C-alpha cells in the first residue's frame, strides 16, 4: 500500500486560503487503510473546515482507489451537482489521486491533504513499515525476499556495511541491519552463495521517471 500522512491542519488551511466552497475526496483503498481519507476522516475534515469558516459541499468517496480513473469519473458524475459548485477540491489520498483529479477536472484546483511517504505494510492499525522503493527491477529472488533498497539506510547492494553491529544498523539501535536479516535468511535457505555475489553498479534506468506501462490482458 501507499503509506501517507495527513498534512497539518494549519497547512491545509493555508492551501485553501481564498477558497470557500470545498468538496472532499477520499477512498476505500490506501487512503482509508492509512486513516487519512476514509469516511471517518472525511467527516472529521468537514467538521474542522466548517469550524474554520469553510463551506463543505460534500464528499466524493471512491470504492477502491482514486487512482482508478474509471471509478473516479463515475463518482464525479454522480456528484456533479456539488462538483460544479465547488471552488476547490481537497484530496485525502495519495499524490496520484490529486494529480488524477487535476487532470480530470482541470478547471478547478485540487489540493493534496496528505504527504505520500512510501510503499509499506501495516502490521498493526496506525503502524506502517517501509518495504519497497519501487526500484523498477525487483531483486527479492536473490535477497531471500527482503528488500535492501527500501530497508537499508544506505540502499547498498553489497552489504552489510562496516556500521552493522550485533544485527543492528548504525543509523540507530531500533533499526535492524537488513543485510544481517538477508544473510540469516539466505543461510536458512541454504543459498548463502547469493550473498557472495558482487553486484555490478546498478542500472537505474528502469527506475527513471516518468514511466508508463501497458499491461496485456490475459486471454
Residues at the contact surface with ligand SF4, assessed by CB under 6 A? 132-135, 138-140, 147, 149-150, 152-154, 156, 159-161, 163-164, 169-171, 177-179
Is residue 137 packed enough to be buried (19+ CB in 10 Å), middle (13-18) or exposed (0-12)?
exposed
CA atoms within 13 A on the CB side of 27: 25
Residue closer to ligand SF4, measured from CB, 108 or 185: 185
Residue closer to ligand SF4, measured from CB, 7 or 131: 131
- Taking the complex as a whole, the smallest distance from the CB of residue 158 to ligand SF4 amounts, in Å, to 9
Nearest CA among 90, 7, 17, 86 for reference residue 52: 17
The x, y and z cell numbers of residue 206, run together, are 528502469
- Asked whether the beta carbons of 8 and 14 are under 8 A apart, the reply is no
- Taking the complex as a whole, the smallest distance from the CB of residue 41 to ligand SF4 amounts, in Å, to 28
- Taking the complex as a whole, the smallest distance from the CB of residue 30 to ligand SF4 amounts, in Å, to 16
Residue closer to ligand SF4, measured from CB, 104 or 140: 140
- Taking the complex as a whole, the smallest distance from the CB of residue 192 to ligand SF4 amounts, in Å, to 17
Residue closer to ligand SF4, measured from CB, 93 or 147: 147
Residue 14, CA distances (Å) to 11, 18, 107, 116, 127 in order: 5, 9, 21, 19, 28
Amino acid at each position: 500500500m501507499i503509506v501517507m500522512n495527513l498534512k497539518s491542519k494549519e497547512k491545509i488551511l493555508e492551501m485553501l486560503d481564498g477558497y470557500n466552497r470545498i468538496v472532499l475526496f477520499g477512498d476505500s483503498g490506501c487512503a482509508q487503510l492509512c486513516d487519512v481519507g476514509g469516511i471517518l476522516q472525511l467527516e472529521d475534515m468537514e467538521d474542522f473546515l466548517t469550524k474554520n469558516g469553510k463551506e463543505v459541499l460534500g464528499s466524493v468517496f471512491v470504492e477502491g482507489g482514486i487512482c482508478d480513473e474509471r471509478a473516479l469519473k463515475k463518482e464525479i458524475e454522480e456528484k456533479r451537482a456539488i462538483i460544479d459548485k465547488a471552488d476547490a477540491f481537497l484530496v485525502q489520498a495519495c499524490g496520484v489521486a490529486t494529480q488524477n483529479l487535476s487532470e480530470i477536472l482541470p478547471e478547478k484546483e485540487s489540493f493534496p491533504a496528505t504527504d505520500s511517504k512510501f510503499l509499506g505494510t501495516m502490521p498493526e492499525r496506525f503502524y506502517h513499515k517501509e518495504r519497497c522503493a519501487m526500484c523498477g527491477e525487483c531483486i527479492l529472488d536473490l535477497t531471500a525476499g527482503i528488500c535492501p533498497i527500501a530497508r537499508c539506510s544506505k540502499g547498498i547492494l553489497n552489504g552489510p556495511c562496516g556500521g552493522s553491529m550485533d544485527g543492528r544498523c548504525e543509523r540507530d539501535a531500533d533499526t535492524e541491519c537488513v543485510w544481517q536479516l538477508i544473510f540469516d535468511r539466505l543461510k536458512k535457505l541454504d543459498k548463502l552463495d547469493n550473498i557472495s555475489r558482487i553486484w555490478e553498479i546498478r542500472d537505474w534506468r528502469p527506475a527513471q521517471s516518468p514511466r508508463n506501462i501497458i499491461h496485456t490482458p490475459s486471454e
